[in-house]
Amino acid sequence: MDTTITTVDPSSVSSPSSSKQWKHDVFLSFRGEDTRRTFTDNLYWTLKDNKVNVFIDENELPRGENITDELVKAIRRSRMSVVIFSKRYAESRWCLEELEKIVAFQRLSCIFLCVTRE
């Protein structure tokens, strides 16, 4: 698996001054069937172990459904997003809706990771 990663110092993500404005330090966007049980799960636990407050969607949306209000709220209330582009990320209408909301709402930064299997 080849992975391009941009690293972030966890202390730069969370700060006391931001605690009232942000509910989550990081919002993870990923295609569940591609990376949920592998790369995304490992990234989630690594961030949590480093005291980063991470939002990850635990529910799998049925095919054809629209992004939920809960997810839109989580994106708005996250300090930054990490988008995990897997090979089939763009095939998911839900992922593309999430990405659209991330680009529209993020005030600080997004990190894009490209994950491929060889």
pLDDT in tens, 20-31: 689 999 999 999
Residue in 58, 65, 98, 100 annotated catalytic: 98
pLDDT at 11 over 60: no
- This prediction's pTM: 0.74
58 is catalytic: no
pLDDT at 3 over 80: no
Are 80 and 29 contacting, i.e. CB atoms less than 8 angstroms apart? Answer: no
What phi, psi does 52 have (nearest 5°)? Answer: -95, 130
Given this model, what pLDDT does residue 4 score?
45
Given this model, what pLDDT does residue 54 score?
94
111 vs 2, more confident: 111
Tens of pLDDT, residue by residue over 47-102, are 999 999 999 987 655 555 667 888 899 999 999 999 999 989 999 998 999 999 99
In single-letter form, the type of residue at position 39 comes to: F
Token pair 């942000």: residue: 22
What phi, psi does 6 have (nearest 5°)? Answer: -105, 125
Helix (H) or strand (E) holding 105, with range, is helix 93-105
